[in-house]
A and B are shown apart, each in its own frame.
Chain A
Amino acid sequence: EAQVTQNPRYLITVTGKKLTVTCSQNMNHEYMSWYRQDPGLGLRQIYYSMNVEVTDKGDVPEGYKVSRKEKRNFPLILESPSPNQTSLYFCASGLVGSDEKLFFGSGTQLSVL
């Protein structure tokens, strides 16, 4: 089954404790990206990647890191989380140059205390 898998589904942590949210896709997609969704602000893009070792900033990259060492994986790293990073996070993947329909993961609800 074609899917984008995010883990964990829920995460509660404390300020400053490094964390990683994983994202994996099984569709051989070149494009992967991370978004955060906040009430009243909608979905905003954090980072995206066009292929292995190619990443670029979205609208709200501050406080986040990503890496794309393999085509299928695109982890989101918060090295020193702060309460303003409490949000619902989504990972997505898609093809480039043809049908760019995006596939989304189920989301990760992060709370930083």
Chain B
Amino acid sequence: NAGVTQTPKFQVLKTGQSMTLQCAQDMNHNSMYWYRQDPGMGLRLIYYSASEGTTDKGEVPNGYNVSRLNKREFSLRLESAAPSQTSVYFCASSEPGQGKGEQFFGPGTRLTVL
């Protein structure tokens, strides 16, 4: 089992460029999440998907869009990158109600916007 995988691991963009962060999980979880972590800070929820076919905004959704492509995959898109979006992005998945319902995290994508 790979758990949660994210691509790419690192990315440098220029202001105004677009990109999509990919996330996939192989644990058959219904819920998936995208977070950003700024230096020295906690994780802030960007978007989440409680189940396939549903998405909802988190704390900081502006400037981002998401797609829950299927049960396994949840992508995050930056349409026009800004320096304020420089951050580490984590994808996570969980199965609430199963065991402790803890989230399993990917290794993160370190994004720099110049």
Do A and B bind? no
